[in-house]
Chains A and B, each alone.
Chain A
């Protein structure tokens, strides 16, 4: 019984500390000092409408846009994602025949469009929201985008390098091209 009372008292106090004061502190710091990051790094167009988040990918199908990686949740777009938003991957095992079938179909589709597929353009991401493609995947699409927009390939390439995240400190991770930021930059030309 004594244990029960001490448990309740200590849990109540620790709850206030870790589930109220601590989140409140971080929330206040976030909303005052880093409001852009704290609210999801949202990107807006000239009219001030939200067009997406700098950290979250989108689906692109048009020739004038760089295409993202395959996503099994369609980048949290459409009715399935209403209202909460979604995240998730395929969870297919390497030896699952479904994986091979899906990838063969996707490789065929890309080759029909004149794009030599890279690994990241065939494999679906874990989050379904991957904002990046590899520099090689961007290079494979550069000709198509330049033609569709009537730009020179060099012009498009310079936008790609402006919208590429390098490795952290030049060492950690893999470089990635931010697809949404890149397409936004091209639209603003």
Chain B
């Protein structure tokens, strides 16, 4: 147990060391300061800007920004849907795979464009190398960059700057953040054993004479952006538990850190951009505390193991169902909490087979959406919670609520509430419909309370744009493909649009000078109150589901 927690603490120390470096760098990039990469990247960027027609990209108004986000994402969905549906006629298809069903193709295109990467298929048996590289791998960059661009526009607006140009921020996110880290990381993964080939599966005669089909593919370049962009869609069906995606504990450490580093760093980036690094560190600390608590809960559950199986074993041993020997219970638990917290959604062990405490924390992460949170959006949601907390505490003490020197008024609260409310709407309504028809719609594969969790998890994962799942669920059906598409679209674009309008409105306000009567948001007390409002506003809605699912399952297990 001590050895296990020692590993986890070391991983977290690496994160705390790396996040500020990237956070500072991202602030430099988006404030237009000089960085050491300029010499290599600026010439390439100019070509891309010129080719895209945004060489002199002017700052956009809220309405134009929203239109740019929606139109570009719609074009991406269309392009990728076409590639997937015509993969039978496209090259790089060594196993001769035909097109998926129309609803699976649509679900997959929406899923990867919204940065969700929910997969109702198994990669090696469904999509050709061309589809994986040319369609899904492409969206892994653009969907992540869309999230970063909106997050940066949001903080620019909050600080009274103009929002910026969506296309230039989209391109800069890729050329200066996602692509350089991906190239270095992909080479590291290659060296450690992750394949990169277009040769198709290899057939082996095993030592006992059986025929083994070993799926291969261009995995290394795909794997790194999968983690870095909080995408999470595995090249293979079983994602980062597959030895070709995550062969050893070097790759596991690298992938865990890479998955966390942008959402964690971006919180500090916000601190630098608003000119108050302390504010960034306080929120970082608050999120870190919730994250650490969740890791302890999940890890202890896995380490203590399954009481029913321990009786068969004649002693206490960890739960290893759905887990790999090389990672063990602690690194599997750490990954599960990180991947649901950051909305990555990649897995290195099966969440369906986690102990109830693991189910509890992974679901809680999907409900809260801010334990680091999604690419860009997580940090933005944290600041939305700050705004709401300023409003609430302002009401309590009778002061005019102000945030970063700007008054918070009706419009801001309406938009913030919309961001908050769309999440339960996109989860609870489809969950209720699905559970009303357990035989025809649900596809539940585990009996009892856990079956309810399977359905809730699928919609929560879709609405939070996470993409992991309790994968026993029979989810490649017309109903599941279309209903989760609704949750993904609602969970993605309603908050993105609201964030842009919220920022646009804030940017236009007169600043109010700070006085002794101004409520300071960069104090420990205020951060504590924020944590409280997050738990009340974000978690209470979902408490009944947690009780019906993992909590009941825990009591049932004894």
- Flag the segment in A140-148, A154-162, A165-173 that touches B: A165-173
Q: B134 near A: Cβ within 8 Å? A: yes
Which B residues are CB-close (under 8 A) to A25?
Answer: 183
The residue on B at minimum CB distance from A80 is B213
Inter-chain CA distance A42–B186, complex, in Å, is 20
Q: What's the nearest-Cβ distance from chain B to residue A46, in Å?
A: 13
Which A residues are CB-close (under 8 A) to B356?
Answer: 94
Whether B350 and A89, one on each chain, are in contact in the complex, defined by CB atoms closer than 8 angstroms, is: yes
Whether B238 and A128, one on each chain, are in contact in the complex, defined by CB atoms closer than 8 angstroms, is: yes
Whether A165 and B215, one on each chain, are in contact in the complex, defined by CB atoms closer than 8 angstroms, is: no
Cross-interface CB contact of B53 among A6, A51, A171, cutoff 8 Å: A6
Q: What's the nearest-Cβ distance from chain A to residue B221, in Å?
A: 4
Q: What's the nearest-Cβ distance from chain A to residue B95, in Å?
A: 5
Whether B207 and A39, one on each chain, are in contact in the complex, defined by CB atoms closer than 8 angstroms, is: no
Whether A130 and B324, one on each chain, are in contact in the complex, defined by CB atoms closer than 8 angstroms, is: yes
Q: What's the nearest-Cβ distance from chain A to residue B201, in Å?
A: 5
Whether A10 and B326, one on each chain, are in contact in the complex, defined by CB atoms closer than 8 angstroms, is: no
Whether B206 and A77, one on each chain, are in contact in the complex, defined by CB atoms closer than 8 angstroms, is: yes
Whether B557 and A22, one on each chain, are in contact in the complex, defined by CB atoms closer than 8 angstroms, is: no
| Among B190, B321, B347, B447: residue with most chain A CB under 10 A | B321
Q: B203 near A: Cβ within 8 Å? A: yes
Q: B522 near A: Cβ within 8 Å? A: no
Q: B242 near A: Cβ within 8 Å? A: yes
Cross-interface CB contact of A122 among B215, B216, B312, cutoff 8 Å: B312
Whether A132 and B201, one on each chain, are in contact in the complex, defined by CB atoms closer than 8 angstroms, is: no
Inter-chain CA distance A26–B188, complex, in Å, is 11
Cross-interface CB contact of A62 among B187, B208, B309, B556, cutoff 8 Å: B208
The residue on A at minimum CB distance from B473 is A91
Q: What's the nearest-Cβ distance from chain A to residue B96, in Å?
A: 8
Q: B479 near A: Cβ within 8 Å? A: no
Whether B196 and A22, one on each chain, are in contact in the complex, defined by CB atoms closer than 8 angstroms, is: no
Whether A52 and B214, one on each chain, are in contact in the complex, defined by CB atoms closer than 8 angstroms, is: yes
Inter-chain CA distance A58–B209, complex, in Å, is 11
Inter-chain CA distance A124–B326, complex, in Å, is 14
Of residues 61 to 80 in B, which have CB atoms within 8 Å of A's CB atoms?
64, 67-68, 71-72, 75-76, 79
Whether A14 and B138, one on each chain, are in contact in the complex, defined by CB atoms closer than 8 angstroms, is: yes
Q: What's the nearest-Cβ distance from chain B to residue A148, in Å?
A: 14
Of residues 185 to 241 in B, which have CB atoms within 8 Å of A's CB atoms?
186-187, 190-199, 201-208, 210-216, 218, 220-222, 225, 236-238, 241
Whether B206 and A51, one on each chain, are in contact in the complex, defined by CB atoms closer than 8 angstroms, is: yes
Whether B197 and A23, one on each chain, are in contact in the complex, defined by CB atoms closer than 8 angstroms, is: no
Which B residues are CB-close (under 8 A) to A152?
Answer: none
Whether B210 and A85, one on each chain, are in contact in the complex, defined by CB atoms closer than 8 angstroms, is: no
Cross-interface CB contact of B207 among A14, A69, A128, A183, cutoff 8 Å: A183
Inter-chain CA distance A165–B380, complex, in Å, is 42
Inter-chain CA distance A187–B195, complex, in Å, is 27
Whether B54 and A56, one on each chain, are in contact in the complex, defined by CB atoms closer than 8 angstroms, is: no
Whether B556 and A95, one on each chain, are in contact in the complex, defined by CB atoms closer than 8 angstroms, is: yes
Whether A11 and B72, one on each chain, are in contact in the complex, defined by CB atoms closer than 8 angstroms, is: yes
Whether B75 and A34, one on each chain, are in contact in the complex, defined by CB atoms closer than 8 angstroms, is: no
Q: A139 near B: Cβ within 8 Å? A: no
- Flag the segment in B247-255, B279-287, B500-508 that touches A: B247-255
Which A residues are CB-close (under 8 A) to B96?
Answer: 83
Q: B523 near A: Cβ within 8 Å? A: no
Of residues 78 to 98 in A, which have CB atoms within 8 Å of B's CB atoms?
78, 81-97
Q: Mark B294-328, 1 if CB is under 8 A from A, else 0.
A: 00000000000110110011000111111111111
| Among B64, B320, B323: residue with most chain A CB under 10 A | B320
Whether B326 and A174, one on each chain, are in contact in the complex, defined by CB atoms closer than 8 angstroms, is: yes
Which B residues are CB-close (under 8 A) to A107?
Answer: 312-313
Whether B215 and A86, one on each chain, are in contact in the complex, defined by CB atoms closer than 8 angstroms, is: yes
Inter-chain CA distance A23–B142, complex, in Å, is 15
Q: B448 near A: Cβ within 8 Å? A: yes
Cross-interface CB contact of B243 among A11, A56, A65, cutoff 8 Å: A56
Which B residues are CB-close (under 8 A) to A132?
Answer: 324-326
Whether A168 and B319, one on each chain, are in contact in the complex, defined by CB atoms closer than 8 angstroms, is: no
Whether A23 and B218, one on each chain, are in contact in the complex, defined by CB atoms closer than 8 angstroms, is: yes
The residue on A at minimum CB distance from B125 is A84
Of residues 428 to 465 in B, which have CB atoms within 8 Å of A's CB atoms?
445-450
Whether B142 and A171, one on each chain, are in contact in the complex, defined by CB atoms closer than 8 angstroms, is: no
Of residues 16 to 61 in A, which have CB atoms within 8 Å of B's CB atoms?
17-20, 22-23, 25-27, 29-31, 33-34, 37-42, 49-61
Which A residues are CB-close (under 8 A) to B252?
Answer: 168, 172-173
Whether A180 and B207, one on each chain, are in contact in the complex, defined by CB atoms closer than 8 angstroms, is: yes
Q: B141 near A: Cβ within 8 Å? A: yes
Inter-chain CA distance A27–B51, complex, in Å, is 26
B residues contacting A by CB (< 8 A) are 6-7, 10-11, 48, 51-54, 64, 67-68, 71-72, 75-76, 79, 95-97, 122, 124-125, 133-135, 137-138, 140-142, 167, 170-171, 174-175, 179, 182-183, 186-187, 190-199, 201-208, 210-216, 218, 220-222, 225, 236-238, 241-244, 247-250, 252-253, 305-306, 308-309, 312-313, 317-328, 331, 347-350, 352-356, 445-450, 470-472, 553, 556-557
A residues contacting B by CB (< 8 A) are 3-15, 17-20, 22-23, 25-27, 29-31, 33-34, 37-42, 49-62, 65, 69, 75-78, 81-97, 99-100, 103-104, 107, 117-120, 122-134, 165, 167-168, 171-174, 176, 180, 183-184, 187
| Beyond known contacts A10-B53, A123-B309: 5 more, CB 8 A cutoff | A9-B52, A17-B174, A30-B190, A37-B194, A119-B313
Q: Which 3 A-B pairs have the closest CB atoms?
A: A85-B215, A91-B472, A173-B249
